[in-house]
């Protein structure tokens, strides 16, 4: 049982998506420790209703592609473990350590991570248990010096570039091909239609190129402002991409989709129809059931008193995205970086000013939103 004396490495992470940084860390750990096993353990990701995160099987397929892209394909000591994902809940690191400790009772156990995680280690659940059973194995990221973090660890030789998974996902939601992902990973994403690729393909078939470009532009701003609006990234992307999904349907088609009770009142401003028709189409064709995404599509033009954070985000991003060339759009964008709520109010103001200046009919929901925002100011 010579194997029992060889190290066993656990490498946990969301791997959503796996990028070159992950592969570099795994390669360095293999070189330095020559372990009996290196377990990659993708964590369970909390689902957001139907817009669920990338399932384990897809992340495992991406991981395999990332490993073979880094020249690690076919290495028998590398295993992808479904331990955390299979429990279908958030799993604490100490539980994962306990699992592999039981599996390899005699082996020196290592827990591999980037140095950015080390800084928060003392805040993890049962750090004492983790350190008693496993040694931390840390790949140093630029700007991090040994000695910080409050726990002893083994450092991997080399420096490992920062790779921000949130930023990578934002690029993927917009259909871009970030260079920090290996070509093989991008191929898996394309084949399995991950990161809303299915939705984008359907949209491209429904919208004119100009409208599709507009949808991407709205999604880009919504993704940038999602943290400020307090909205999960994936929901922001889905709602923003789909907000105009019914915009290029003929009016008759929009009328068929919009609720009958609204169709009559919207004759005064037929352009508003596509918002209600869009919510219905998102449900029917794109399989959206999340009420917050449907609300965001429905209210993206008029707004409404009491609209939720996701609806506010899409409303603002529709008015102020980079593709808008009126001067207020840039000002709202700038303001949103500093104060999202103030920017949202400004978006409502600008829309109403343009509507009144145009002399047309203004939907009561838009006026209602304005009034509700003033009431909040007074209270």
Which chain residues interact with Fe ion by CB under 5 A? 244, 318
How many Å apart are CA 336 and CA 52, to the nearest integer? 28
CB of 252 to Fe ion, least distance (A): 18
Is residue 176 exposed (0-12), middle (13-18) or buried (19+ Cβ within 10 Å)? middle
CB of 240 to Fe ion, least distance (A): 9
CB of 214 to Fe ion, least distance (A): 6
CB of 24 to Fe ion, least distance (A): 40
Q: Find out whether 23 and 114 touch, Cβ atoms under 8 Å.
A: no
How many Å apart are CA 288 and CA 291, to the nearest integer? 8
Nearer to Fe ion by C-beta: 37 or 242?
Answer: 242
Nearer to Fe ion by C-beta: 137 or 288?
Answer: 288
How many Å apart are CA 64 and CA 79, to the nearest integer? 10
Q: Which residues pair with 42 in a beta bridge?
A: 13
CB of 301 to Fe ion, least distance (A): 5
Q: Find out whether 335 and 342 touch, Cβ atoms under 8 Å.
A: yes
Closest to 54 (Cα-Cα) out of 92, 15, 23, 91: 15
How many Å apart are CA 185 and CA 170, to the nearest integer? 16
Nearer to Fe ion by C-beta: 244 or 298?
Answer: 244
Q: Find out whether 245 and 257 touch, Cβ atoms under 8 Å.
A: no
Is residue 57 exposed (0-12), middle (13-18) or buried (19+ Cβ within 10 Å)? exposed
Q: Which residue has the tokens 């402002």?
A: 225
CB of 243 to Fe ion, least distance (A): 6
CB of 203 to Fe ion, least distance (A): 12
Nearer to Fe ion by C-beta: 290 or 318?
Answer: 318
Nearer to Fe ion by C-beta: 134 or 288?
Answer: 288
CB of 324 to Fe ion, least distance (A): 10
Nearer to Fe ion by C-beta: 112 or 237?
Answer: 237
How many Å apart are CA 323 and CA 325, to the nearest integer? 6
Q: Which two tokens stand for residue 282?
A: 């998102």
Nearer to Fe ion by C-beta: 72 or 362?
Answer: 362
Nearer to Fe ion by C-beta: 140 or 297?
Answer: 297
Backbone φ and ψ for 84, nearest 5 degrees, come out as -70, -45
Closest to 147 (Cα-Cα) out of 124, 112, 127, 119: 119
């Amino acid at each position: 049982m010579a194997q029992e004396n060889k190290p066993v490495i656990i490498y946990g992470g969301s791997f959503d998506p796996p990028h070159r940084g992950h592969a570099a860390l795994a390669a360095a750990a293999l070189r330095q420790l020559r372990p009996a096993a290196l377990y990659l353990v993708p964590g369970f990701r909390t689902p957001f209703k139907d817009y669920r995160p990338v399932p384990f099987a897809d992340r495992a397929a991406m991981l395999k592609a990332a490993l073979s892209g880094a020249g690690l394909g076919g290495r028998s000591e590398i295993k992808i473990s479904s331990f955390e994902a299979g429990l279908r809940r958030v799993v604490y690191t100490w539980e994962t350590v306990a699992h592999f400790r039981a599996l390899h009772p005699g082996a020196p156990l290592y827990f591999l991570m980037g140095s950015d995680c080390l800084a928060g280690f003392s805040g993890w659940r049962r750090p004492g248990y983790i350190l008693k059973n496993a040694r931390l194995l840390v790949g140093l990221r630029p700007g991090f010096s040994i000695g910080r973090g409050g726990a002893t660890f083994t450092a991997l030789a080399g420096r490992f570039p920062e790779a921000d998974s949130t930023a990578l996902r934002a690029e993927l939601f917009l259909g871009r091909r970030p260079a920090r992902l290996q070509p093989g990973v991008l191929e898996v994403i394309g084949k399995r239609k991950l990161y809303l690729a299915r939705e984008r393909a359907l949209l491209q078939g429904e919208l004119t190129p100009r409208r599709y470009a507009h949808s991407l532009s709205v999604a880009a701003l919504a993704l940038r402002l999602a943290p400020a609006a307090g909205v999960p990234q994936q929901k922001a992307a889905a709602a923003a991409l789909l907000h105009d999904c019914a915009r290029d349907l003929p009016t008759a088609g929009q009328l068929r989709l919009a609720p009958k009770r609204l169709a009559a009142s919207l004759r005064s401003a037929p352009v508003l129809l596509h918002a209600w028709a869009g919510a219905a189409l998102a449900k029917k064709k794109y399989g959206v059931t999340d009420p917050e995404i449907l609300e965001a599509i429905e209210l993206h033009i008029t707004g409404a008193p009491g609209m939720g954070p996701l609806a506010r985000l899409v409303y603002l991003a529709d008015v102020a995205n980079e593709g808008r060339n009126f001067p207020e759009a840039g000002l709202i964008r700038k303001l949103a970086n500093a104060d999202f709520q103030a920017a949202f109010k400004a978006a409502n103001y600008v829309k109403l000013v343009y509507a009144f200046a145009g002399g047309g009919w203004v939907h009561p929901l838009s006026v209602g939103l304005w009034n509700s925002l003033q009431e909040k100011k007074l209270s």
